Amino acid sequence: MRSLPARRLAAVALTAAASVVALAGPAFAHVTVNPGSAAQGGYTAVDFRVPNESDTASTVKLEVNLPLDHPLASVRTLPLPGWTANVEKSKLDKPIKVHGSDVTEAVSKITWTADAGTKIAPGQFQEFRVSLGPLPTDAVGMEFKALQTYDNGDVVRWIDESQDGQPEPAHPAPVLKLTKAAGGDDHGVTASPAAGAHGDSSDHAAASGDTKSSDSTARTLGVVGIVVGVIGTAVGVLGLRRKSSGSAS
């Protein structure tokens, strides 16, 4: 009878550990843009990272909408085997001037469609790389609303706007934060990601991906540490209860 409270304590600890894992998991499952920040006025290469969240269906299409309130003159997709990219442009209400020339249209949407036999299966993710620029100098961020389509017809709309000081929405839109450029040239090109006239850089994107991966790994290890700590505490208390019971008898 004396061991009953200890068993209950262990059960509570295990439940708490499971809750920590359950709460931590979804935070890593959103569609995101990586790296998450870039310098204002420059060019950069980013990956739209798409995890498959379904246990029974596979992702076969991704649509990313580019904001036209801050149009981008240069948008290029990196070929991805097994996927076909379609780039749509829209006429601008007001032309923008880039390197002394007027730009009257800009990319408004990119759609990647899986070829036959290609998919993002359950438990997998895929990255879709794009070079962008020049980034606006009068904004602190750019929101890219995205739609993720599964082969069973389900569509997940990653379009919710995140608000400072508010809980994260269920399906937040990917956001690229913009920071003040430090020591850029006359064109405002970001030094690290730029390679060539329009800032295409596979090396930088790979390095950014490694950094993001390291961050995710660190968060995952942190969650695991919390779980192990909770279970260890429960086991320690259970051992002390058993020892006390043995001494008393």
Per-residue pLDDT, 112: 98
pTM listed for this prediction:
0.65
How does pLDDT run along the chain (249 residues), one tens digit per residue?
445 555 565 554 545 444 444 444 444 579 999 999 999 999 999 999 999 999 999 999 999 999 999 999 999 999 999 999 999 999 998 888 888 888 889 999 999 999 999 999 999 999 999 999 999 999 999 999 999 999 999 999 999 998 878 888 899 999 999 999 876 544 444 333 333 334 443 344 443 444 444 444 445 445 545 544 545 555 454 555 555 555 555
Residue 99 tokens read as 């390197």
Q: Do the Cβ atoms of 42 and 199 come closer than 8 Å?
A: yes
Q: How far apart are CA 114 and CA 208, in angstroms?
A: 25
CA atoms within 13 A on the CB side of 15: 6
Q: What share of the chain is helix, strand, coil (3-state, %, to 5)?
A: 30, 35, 35
Q: What is the pLDDT of residues 35-44, one digit of tens each?
A: 999 999 999 9
Q: What number of H helices and E strands is found in the chain?
A: 2, 12
Per-residue pLDDT, 42: 94
Give the three-class secondary structure for 42.
coil
User: 83-108: b or e for each residue (b if 16 or more CB lie within 10 Å)?
Assistant: bebeeeeeeeeeebebeeeeeeebbb
Q: Is the Cα dihedral 137, 129, 98, 42 positive or negative? A: positive
CA 4 to each of CA 57, 159, 209: distance values in angstroms, whole numbers, following the listed order? 43, 49, 49
Per-residue pLDDT, 158: 97
Per-residue pLDDT, 121: 98
- Phi first, then psi, for residue 143 (nearest 5°) are -105, 130
Per-residue pLDDT, 165: 80
155: left (phi over 0), alpha (psi -120 to 50) or beta: beta
CA angle, 109 then 179 then 130, to 5°: 30
Give the three-class secondary structure for 173.
coil
Per-residue pLDDT, 248: 52
Per-residue pLDDT, 29: 78
Q: How far apart are CA 226 and CA 233, in angstroms?
A: 11
Per-residue pLDDT, 202: 39
Q: What is the pLDDT of residues 144-154, one digit of tens each?
A: 999 999 999 99
